[in-house]
Amino acid sequence: MSVTVLGAGAFGAALATALCVRGPVTLWARAGAEDMARDRAVPRLPGVRLPDAVLPTADLARAAEADIVMLAVPMQALGPFLDRLPLSLAGKALVACCKGLDLERLTGPSAVIGQACPDAVAAVLTGPSFADDIARGLPTALTLACADEARGAALQAALSTHALRLYASPDPLGAELGGALKNVVAIGCGAVMGAGLGDSARAALMTRGFAEMTRLAAHLGARPETLTGLSGLGDLALTCGSPLSRNFRYGQAIGRGDSFDASVTVEGAATARAVDALARREALDLPVCAAVARLASGEADLATLIDMLLNRPLKKE
């Protein structure tokens, strides 16, 4: 099956680099495709060169003709991007490679795909991974979730490589919620570490944040066990513990009182706002997510929010 990656940022280019060991992969770039084709360099991945089997292009219509279309665009751009695709995607496999919740719809990428392309097969690729590791061929395990288990198994077989090991799941809702919500918790953990509150506080926030992730996912109909896998707990451990995570670094900058590069996409900031709105709509108590939403929007400072969390009524675990 032919494969296209739409989006030539760090993660999209890394995926194309990893997947081209199975055969040629088309990499669509909104800008700079000619430069990438000539120089084989990726602006967002310094030191990484595209293999010859990666075919950069600016022709969106031609790129989207592939059997498998990997959507490596930011979550908040996914809906508008799908709406302007210049051809029908009926019958194709559309694999979301973004993590987050749409601010307007309050849904994850599989629902956005379903609304924009109801005749396509929606899947979600998510889990603990950094683009640089994938591009360098380091061992990485991810979740590939698709409600159609037969199509999911076919995608798993088509996209797995020796270094990129994919585990199939029939629960795209749970997988995408794990990938989205862990970014919210990672911002909080980064803020805790940036403020010098220590590893014990980070561990407590991770644990209580994971409880909120599982509670919300189960409430929305996902399988709780999905959150204990790669797309939930695995991704949470990676993102909350490494300065390579953009969401962690963003929170760290807030905790230190530093500025943060506005050109860097931080999916967790928008997701925190979406989760907060979703929790209010569903009458769910998610104090960690609510605190991160207020922190990221500048509505409250870290000291106030920590004090609020520590003064909540005592309860059983």
Pair 208, 290: CB distance under 8 Å: no
* Interstrand relation of 140-145 and 121-126 (parallel, antiparallel or unpaired): antiparallel
Task: Supply angle C-alpha 116, 119, 120, rounded to 5.
Answer: 80
CA 180/CA 15 separation, integer angstroms: 19
Q: Give the pair of three-digit tokens for residue 256.
A: 């230190």
Q: List active site positions.
A: 182
Alpha-carbon distances, residue 280 vs 84, 274, 276, 285 (angstroms):
32, 10, 6, 8
Cα separation, 173 vs 220, whole angstroms: 8
Q: Are 135 and 45 in contact (CB under 8 A)?
A: yes
What is the number of residues in the chain?
317
Coil, helix or strand at residue 95: strand
- Residue 234 corresponds to which tokens in the numbers above? 């695995």
From 169, 198, 202, select the one nearest 185 (Cα to Cα). 202
User: Which pair of structure tokens corresponds to residue 3?
Assistant: 């494969």
C-beta of residue 161 within 8 angstroms of C-beta of residue 18: yes
3-state SS assignment for residue 81: helix
* Nearest CA-CA partner of 298 in 256, 267, 269: 269
